[in-house]
Amino acid sequence: MNIAVIGGGLMGLVLAHRLSQQGHIVTVFERNHQLGGLATYHDYGSFVWDRFYHVILPSDTHLIRYLHDIGLGEQLRWRSTGTGYYVDKKLYSISNTLEFLRFPPLSWWAKFRLAFTLIYGSRIKNWQPLERISVEDWLVKVSGRKTYQKFWLPLLLAKLGENYKKVSAVFIWSYIKRLFSARDSSLNKEKLGYVVGGYKTVFDRLEKLIYTAGSCICTGVAINRIIPDSVDGLWVEYKSKKEHFDKVIFTAPVEILQDVAPPSLVQMSGDRTSIEYLGVICMALVTRKPLVPHYIVNIADSRVPFTGAIGMTNLVSLQETAGLHLTYLPKYILSSDPLLQKTDAELRQLFVSGLRYMFPHLSENDIVTTHINRAKHVQPLQILNYSRKAPQATTSHKDFLVLNTSQFVNDTLNNNTVVRHVEEFLKNERLTVWNHS
């Protein structure tokens, strides 16, 4: 079977690899010149690492199994890292039970309620009722207002920016579930992982495996249109060319799907007008000295323009980064936010002013380089009753299928879910028929 996969992010590449293994001839079309989508890599001058920060959790069983499957199991590295909170112009470490018990911004009662929320949240199995309550209301109800203000709010801001106000409690439930499992119970410390060489290693390996299986990848090729053939299969249009495929699978965001597929091919359900996409602006900072002592620092200070500081080199060996320190400073915003249209120089100025405020002792000499990276479509906002409102694509055409992250209705956006989603998709009845036809 001759199959086109649109999108060369992790979803498209894992899918193309698996389909090639089943004997199909797959062509991956990726709009950018570089593979990887949101998980792609960036040249920081003296080293190459992920464009945005990525970690692997011990509970990412689907992803870890897949990495072993493609021969990268030996390249996984694990390290205990810490979490910090920046509150009232001070940085607190809450990386283990003792530090958590000492965390001054929270009273004993507030800490007790926080611990209760984590245990309670991690045990909830039925997430549907959580869709009907806002994340703020749920956290205030379970943790209390003080714990919410001092602990949860910075975390929500770090993950969602001001948009947390629109999001349902499913967001924090899936987050707690995922993060809870990152803690090693014996040490009660977070254990996080990465692949040597970052996600570039994964994409390089997938590219090689896809070609070895007789399939191919076209980078720098944006698909403009997908047109059903009058008899069988579909045509994909790009760069004023037209190519016929027996099957087409679309893995890019739904926002793009609506531009490239006519209504005769795909019907969108859900409330399109109320679904907004979250985007991100992230300044990556390369320094001679470490900026923060933790993997993640949640920032509860509205005077700082970024909402978290991710000390990547507290997880990743300095051998990976030419002995330099890499810190990501993200700011999550709506994809319609005018900030996304600002120039790199304007954004750099904004972020550097926040750096100066938060780290007054950081000298110009300590900074090696700064890089502004941005993504317009990260994930749809998981608003109230998202599973009913999510923009789901129904494809009535037997040869056209859609597989993308907007289909994650009760999960955070992460690569473990991407791999699991592909695995479940491959069991899809329509695909089983393809394998036998």
Ligand X SMILES: Cc1cc2nc3c(=O)[nH]c(=O)nc-3n(C[C@H](O)[C@H](O)[C@H](O)COP(=O)(O)OP(=O)(O)OC[C@H]3O[C@@H](n4cnc5c(N)ncnc54)[C@H](O)[C@@H]3O)c2cc1C
Applying CB under 6 A, which residues contact ligand X? 6-12, 29-32, 37-39, 52-55, 222-223, 251-252, 256, 260, 280, 282, 330, 375, 378, 404-405, 413-416, 418
- Given a contact cutoff of 8 angstroms between Cβ atoms, the answer to whether 147 and 138 are in contact is no
**Between 173 and 425, whose beta carbon lies closer to ligand X?**
425
Least distance between ligand X and beta carbon 400 (Å): 15
**Strand residue runs (E) in 255-386:** 266-268, 277-287, 296-300, 308-311, 325-334, 367-380
* Collapsed DSSP state (helix, strand, coil) of residue 73: helix
Task: Report the C-alpha gap between 433 and 435 in whole angstroms.
Answer: 5
Q: Name which of 142 and 236 has its Cβ closer to ligand X.
A: 236
Distance CA 354, CA 285 (A): 13
Pull the structure tokens for residue 153: 């709010």
Instruction: Report the amino acid identity of residue 153.
Output: L
φ, ψ (nearest 5 deg) of residue 22: -80, 0
* 18 vs 426: CA distance, rounded Å: 8
In angstroms, give the least distance from the CB of 125 to ligand X.
Answer: 23
Shortest reach from residue 292's CB to ligand X, in Å: 16
Q: How far is the CB of 418 from ligand X (least distance, A)?
A: 5
Residue whose entry in the numeric block shows the structure tokens 């899918």:
15
Minimum CB distance to ligand X, residue 42 (Å): 12
Nearest CB to ligand X, comparing residues 106 and 278: 278
Q: What does the block give as tokens for 429?
A: 């009845």
Query: Of 153 and 222, which CB lies nearer to ligand X in the complex structure?
Result: 222
Single out the residue of 425, 378, 422 nearest to residue 66, CA to CA: 422
The neighbour count for residue 13, using CB atoms within 10 Å, is 29
Question: Min. distance of Cβ 63 from ligand X in angstroms?
Answer: 7
Under 8 Å CB-to-CB from 126, ≥6 apart: which residues? Answer: none
β-strands 400-402, 247-250: how paired? Answer: parallel
Q: Using an 8 Å Cβ cutoff, are 20 and 214 in contact? A: yes
CB nearer to ligand X: give 5 or 106: 5
Q: Which is nearer to ligand X, 52 or 434 (CB)?
A: 52
Q: Phi first, then psi: give them for residue 94, nearest 5 degrees.
A: -130, 55
- Tokens 């009660």 correspond to 188
CB of 28 to ligand X, least distance (A): 9
The distance of closest approach from Cβ of residue 61 to ligand X in the complex, given in angstroms and rounded to an integer, is 12
DSSP labels, 64-79:
HHHHHHTT-GGGEEEE
Rounded (10°) angle between helices 415-426 and 61-69: 70
Shortest Å distance, C-beta 83 to ligand X: 14
Of 347 and 384, the one with the shorter C-beta distance to ligand X is 347
Nearer to ligand X, 168 or 416 (CB): 416
The residue whose two tokens read 């009907």 is: 132
CB of 256 to ligand X, least distance (A): 4
Based on CB atoms, which residue is closest to ligand X, 91 or 222? 222
**Residue that the structure tokens 């000295």 belong to:** 289
